[in-house]
Amino acid sequence: MSGPVAGQPVLGLRNVVKEYGGRRVLDGIDLDVAEHEVVVLIGSSGSGKSTLLRCANLLEDLDDGQVLLDGEDVSDPRVDADVARRRMGVVFQSYNLFPHMSVLDNVTLASRVVHRAPRAQAEERARELLARVGLADRAGAYPDRLSGGQQQRVAIARALAHGPRLLLLDEITSALDPELVGEVLGLVRELAARGTTILMATHEMGFARQVADRVCFLDGGRLLESGPPAQVLGEPEHERTRLFLRRIVDAGRL
């Protein structure tokens, strides 16, 4: 796989199309994510945000288009998707931690098994990350002894363990109690400040306004509007965006 080139997007989506049962869920998506950029996807449930992230991570086959990682078409069937995925970290709505494994073992598993890192090296990196996410004292704990917010922070540490080029976050606060949302978003805010390249879907508009470099509004599988948070969230151009934001305001989320 080719390495990064100065000025080249870390992730490029080119005319990405995905269909389920004849229904077009993604309809010609074009999107770039530059190095150190935080791009936030917004839109109603069913707009295509999660599917876009799954296509970017090659968990879904495309019906058309390309996924470029550092300029290479990793959606080409001749490319080993598993090798490409190793350069991305992903965190879903559910924590997906192994309940029979300690926090430390959950974080080190991929490094040891997939990336073949020596255990001592993997554990050193994992302990650094756990300290970074405020869980240094919970390395020996099991997931059922953690709160939802703590489990999600462990999942983020696990996604960062192998030093990914790109972090994909899919509605990572949607399964959390309201009082736990802040601690997880605070961690993402810190990662963004450190220059982590992030593509994330969220319903937290206040967070998007504060942290995103760019906000992208999806509707019916199309990217209708993209720009700085102040423009998309404050002065949207499209009526569909304005309608979506009015609903968010009515729900008290903006």
Taken in order 61, 172, 95, 129, the sign of the CA dihedral is: positive
Q: Are residues 189 and 238 in the same domain?
A: yes
Higher-confidence position of 7 and 168: 168
Q: Distance between CA 147 and CA 153 in Å, rounded?
A: 10
Q: What local confidence, expressed as pLDDT, does residue 251 receive? A: 64
Which residue range forms the structural domain that includes residue 33?
10-87+166-254
Residue 4 included in any domain: no
Residue 243 included in any domain: yes
Q: Are residues 74 and 175 in the same domain?
A: yes
Residue 3 included in any domain: no
Decide: pTM greater than 0.75: yes
pLDDT tens sequence across 34-66: 999 999 999 999 999 999 999 999 999 999 999
pLDDT, average across residues 27-39: 97
Can you give the three-state secondary structure of 173-192, one letter per residue? Answer: CCCCCHHHHHHHHHHHHHHH
Q: Are residues 160 and 136 in the same domain?
A: yes
Q: Are residues 58 and 119 in the same domain?
A: no
CATH code for position 51: 3.40.50.300
Q: Contact 53/170 with Cβ under 8 angstroms?
A: yes
